[in-house]
Amino acid sequence: MRLEGKTAIITGAGSGLGREAATLFASEGATIVAADIDLEGAEETIDLVEKAGQDGAAIELDVRDAEAVQAAVDETVAEYGLDIAVNNAGVSHQRANVEEIDAEERDRVIDVNVKGVWNGCQAVIPHFKEQGSGAIVNTSSLAGVIGAPQLGAYSLSKGAVANFTRTVAAEVGPAGVRANAVCPGVTDTAMPRKGKTTAEWEQTKEEMARYYPLKRLGEPEDIANAMLFLASDEAAWITGQALVVDGGFSCA
């Protein structure tokens, strides 16, 4: 198993990509700390982790709170040790042109998507440096690489995550620590489905799939598999990368 004997803390683990990563990492031998502002969701994820035969714990966590993030990391290190940090918690916003997005909504997105990743990295870096190893995986987005019309605040935040990841990688590499980002295309999770009925979402998926060379949208396991690779020793000489996982959309 690729993560046997390792511990991963995953934010936004109560649903979507975070939950998929948590259960996949557990199936590969990792102990999982599932952190989410939705404690019930995180607990449900840990139930799945335990069904996979691994230990884990659920933590209620608002990634905007730097002190709370540091406390969660410190508790994880004390209880289990820590080898992998997946800074995945994120939010989006209703589609609108830049001039139509108010400051409050912009700041909400930046606080979670940018400050949350900053807080997660800042909390784990000293521990990883001290032990001389560790893998950080941040969730960016295809929107952070090529932009996305009417998702200005989201694109801004995810572009920041991709570039910040490169900075972190350059700083921590000499200590034996790696940092990479995944940049998903549209993936079938609750975020893009928000506000749509099942029928509307299925129609949207069909319409959007036409623009992808692989003729489908992403599934959560597609992104979780990329996270697993970057977190594993198989990626031991990969750092500072923003891995686009988009079914070919960006090359079409």
Q: Indicate which residues carry an active-site annotation.
A: 154
**Close Cβ partners of 160 (under 8 Å, ≥ 6 residues apart):** 110, 113, 114, 144
Residue 7 pairs in a beta bridge with 31
Contact 240, 166 (CB under 8 A): yes
CB atoms < 10 A from the CB of 41, how many? 20
Q: DSSP 3-state assignment of 57?
A: strand
Tokens of 166: 């490169």
Q: Which amino acid is at 151?
A: L
Contact 215, 182 (CB under 8 A): no
Tokens of 227: 């996270």
Tokens of 37: 């502002």
Q: Is the dihedral of CA 144, 156, 41, 186 positive or negative?
A: negative
Q: DSSP 3-state assignment of 149?
A: coil
Distance, in Å, from the CA atom of 35 to the CA atom of 63, rounded to the nearest integer, reads 9
CA torsion angle 92 94 97 100 (round to 10): -110
